[in-house]
Structure 1
């Protein structure tokens, strides 16, 4: 198991290095950031001064090695607009994104697993058809469109603005609408995965043997069916973390939520190189850590994987 974890950690480090390299190249090949920052009528010497200040006058390999060296020393660069470190700006926005993403994931996981379990236990019933219909609707509904519907219904139907722009404050009223919007698609996916996995487990011979031995239905479900059906759901959990991080960018824009996603959009628009690179690095880091934890959780849930990695 230790060897497997070390292998996964090494692969995660390599993934982060590839992500950093791709972002570094794309930002610099998409146009001259110095020209984007300088005023439209700025003379060439002013543009060149911007270029020298940001180190863009150096050859690309020199810029890349310098950036990697700064990362190794914990220097992630500074915003060219505010002069603050990219890490400090990120930490200011992180609590809002953690609150939004954590609530969205909790809603998607709890509600999706609950209705998926109900659909599996009531197979081919009205409940099953309703759950499957809802899961298809939730998966097909774009985040930005559903978010706009929520805002319009709240504003015109109830006289409530579901957006953090009203006072830029975080409360339960401003948190639940964007969190529900962000978690909607993943709720449908959790429901479908839970239903299919649980149905497959319930039809296994060992479940019929437990029933024949007189084991109570609740114990069969909680003690034997749920652990065996959990691995596909855990896989979906790892994928959902990445989807929620990506979806937060759009959701935060729609609801004016003051989080990392909104900061990333503004930083890309203003060519704030240090902030963009650091935010993408943090997003990649969170996704690789999530996948690493999912791999470790596999070994806890399935003894066969644990024996194979020994």
Structure 2
């Protein structure tokens, strides 16, 4: 078991290092940040001053080692537009994103998994086809399109603007429903297929032959085994709480990390973009690591290996 945990930790560290390297290279190779930040009619001397101030006049390997050293010291740079630390800008927007993403995930879990279970227990019936039709629709519907429909409905029918408010739970429900719609369809399909596979397993047939009541078979045997694939999907959804709301935040003008990322990319704010991308990568890596460790608890076959 120690070897299993150690291998997952090493893999997480290597993945994080590769992510840091790719983000650093992609931002540098996408254009000259100094030229983008300087005024359009700025002479070359001014652009060179910008480049020296940002450390872009040094060789690429020197910029990379300096960046790694700064990260090791907890220094992630400052926004060139506000002068504030990039980490502070991120943390200021993080509560709004977590509120939106957490509510969307709760909606997807509370609605998607029961819908999938109902469809599996009624396989081939009209309710099964209805649930699967809805799940395909929810997964295929673009977030921005559904969000625009919600905004127009609120404005034209209820005479109210939807979004850009964190005051009450009712304010976050429309964007959260928009964000959680695709996840709801994915959870429904995964839970249905996983439960059907478990119900047709030999141990479930043996349990029915021994006369174990249906309710006990569902809760004690089918449920835990069917939940194993869903743990991976939930882990990916947790990791995507920050990154998955970019489009929804733009549509609803939600003051979160996704909106900050779009503005930072448009204005070539390198330090802020790098920190947000690294925060997203760390969140995804930690979520996958937690899922791998949870497998030790819920799946005895991994402990046996």
- Does TM-score exceed 0.5, indicating one fold? yes
Whole-angstrom CA distance in 1 between matches of 2:244 and 2:176: 11
Aligned twin of 1:257: 254
* SS state at 1:240 partner: helix
Going from structure 1 to structure 2, the CA distance change for 1:169 and 1:108 (only over 3 Å counts) comes to: closer
Q: Distance in 2 between matches of 1:110 and 1:7?
A: 34
Alignment check: 8 A CA contact 1:143 1:247 kept: no
SS at structure 1 position matched to 2:296: helix
| 2:284 aligned residue | 287
Deviation at 1:263, TM superposition (A): 0.5
Q: CA RMSD in A?
A: 1.3
Deviation at 1:213, TM superposition (A): 2.8
2:205 pairs with 1:205: no
5+ residue gaps, structure 1: none
What TM-score comes out, normalization by structure 1 length?
0.95
Structure 1 CA distance for aligned equivalents of residues 256 and 93 of structure 2: 5
- The yes-or-no answer on 1:278 pairing with 2:275 is yes
Count the aligned residue pairs.
Answer: 305
Partner of 1:90: 90
CA displacement at 1:243 relative to structure 2: 4.8
Q: 2:172 aligns with which of 175, 181, 185?
A: 175
Deviations 1:2-38 (A, max 9, x none): 2211211111111111111111111111111111111
Instruction: Using the TM superposition, give the Cα deviation of residue 306 of structure 1 relative to its aligned residue in structure 2, in angstroms.
Output: 1.2
Matched residue, 1:30:
30
CA contact (8 A) 1:162 1:173 kept: no
2:130 counterpart residue number: 130
- 1:1-310 matches, cutoff 5 A: 1-164=1-164, 168-308=165-305
Cα shift at 1:242: 4.6
**Alpha carbons of structure 1 residues 169 and 106: separation in structure 2 relative to 1, 3 Å:** closer
Distance in 1, matches of 2:110 and 2:213, equals: 24
Q: What 5-or-longer segments of structure 2 have no aligned partner?
A: none
Distance 1:88 1:245 in 2: 16
The TM-score, its normalising length taken from structure 2, stands at 0.96
Contact 2:150/2:174 (<8 A) preserved:
yes
In 2, the alpha carbon distance for the partners of 1:110 and 1:301 equals: 21
Q: What is the deviation of 1:244?
A: 4.7
* C-alpha contact 1:112 1:189 (8 A) present in aligned 2: yes
SS of residue matched to 2:31: coil
Mapped contact 1:182–1:251 kept (Cα < 8 A): yes
- More off after superposition, 221-230 vs 205-214: 205-214
Whether contact under 8 Å (1:182, 1:244) holds in the other structure is: no
Q: What secondary structure sits across from 1:75 in the alignment?
A: coil
- Quote the Cα distance in structure 1 between the aligned partners of 2:238 and 2:6: 22
4+ runs of 1 displaced by more than 3 Å? Answer: 241-246
Give the Å deviation of 1:175. Answer: 0.8
Task: Give, in angstroms, the shift of residue 238 of structure 1.
Answer: 2.6
8 Å CA contact 2:20–2:278 kept in 1: the answer is yes
